[in-house]
C-alpha cells in the first residue's frame, strides 16, 4: 500500500510560471513532510520541509502548503526557472512507533521548465 501518493507524474511549465506538485497521505500519525529535489545523475537533496502545526512554509521561491484536514500537502515553485528542471519527491514520516523515522516517498514528479 502506497503511503504517500504524488501527482502529477510529469509537469511542463513555461519559464516564469508557477509549478504545483501535490501529495496526499492516509496515516494521520505522520508529522514531518519533506520535499526532495533530484537532478539527473545525482542523489536527492532536501529542498524544504514542514510540520503539521503550520499551514504554509516559504523558502525563497519554494512554498509548501499543508492541509491537515484533507491530508494533503503541495509544493509551489514560483517564477519557475529552467534550473528548476528536476525530479521532485514528497515524503512523510512520524516520530513515534516501531517505524521511527521511516520516510515514505511519493513516486516523484519530473518537472521541465521551458525557457
Partner 1 sequence: NAGVTQTPKFRVLKTGQSMTLLCAQDMNHEYMYWYRQDPGMGLRLIHYSVGEGTTAKGEVPDGYNVSRLKKQNFLLGLESAAPSQTSVYFCASSHRAHSRIFGPGTRLTVL
Residues that bind partner 1 (CB under 8 A): 6, 9, 32, 34, 36, 41-46, 49, 89, 93, 95, 100-103, 105-108
CB of 65 to partner 1, least distance (A): 20
Q: Which residues pair with 6 in a beta bridge?
A: 23
Q: How far, in Å, CA of 60 to CA of 10, rounded?
A: 23
Alpha-carbon distance of 92 to 49, in angstroms, equals 10
Instruction: Give the shortest CB-103-to-partner 1 separation in angstroms.
Output: 7
Least Å distance between CB 34 and partner 1? Answer: 7
Separation between Cα atoms, residue 13 and residue 112, nearest integer Å: 6
User: Which lies closer to partner 1 via its Cβ, residue 38 or residue 72?
Assistant: 38
Amino acid at each position: 500500500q502506497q503511503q504517500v501518493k504524488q501527482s502529477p507524474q510529469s509537469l511542463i511549465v513555461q519559464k516564469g510560471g508557477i509549478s504545483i506538485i501535490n501529495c496526499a497521505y492516509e496515516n494521520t500519525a505522520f508529522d514531518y513532510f519533506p520535499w526532495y529535489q533530484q537532478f539527473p545523475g545525482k542523489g536527492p537533496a532536501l529542498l524544504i520541509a514542514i510540520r503539521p502545526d503550520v499551514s504554509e512554509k516559504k523558502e525563497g521561491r519554494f512554498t509548501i502548503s499543508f492541509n491537515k484536514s484533507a491530508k494533503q500537502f503541495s509544493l509551489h515553485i514560483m517564477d519557475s526557472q529552467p534550473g528548476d528542471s528536476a525530479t521532485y519527491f514528497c515524503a512523510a514520516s512520524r516520530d513515534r512507533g516501531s517505524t521511527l523515522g521511516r520516510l515514505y516517498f511519493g513516486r516523484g514528479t519530473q518537472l521541465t521548465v521551458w525557457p
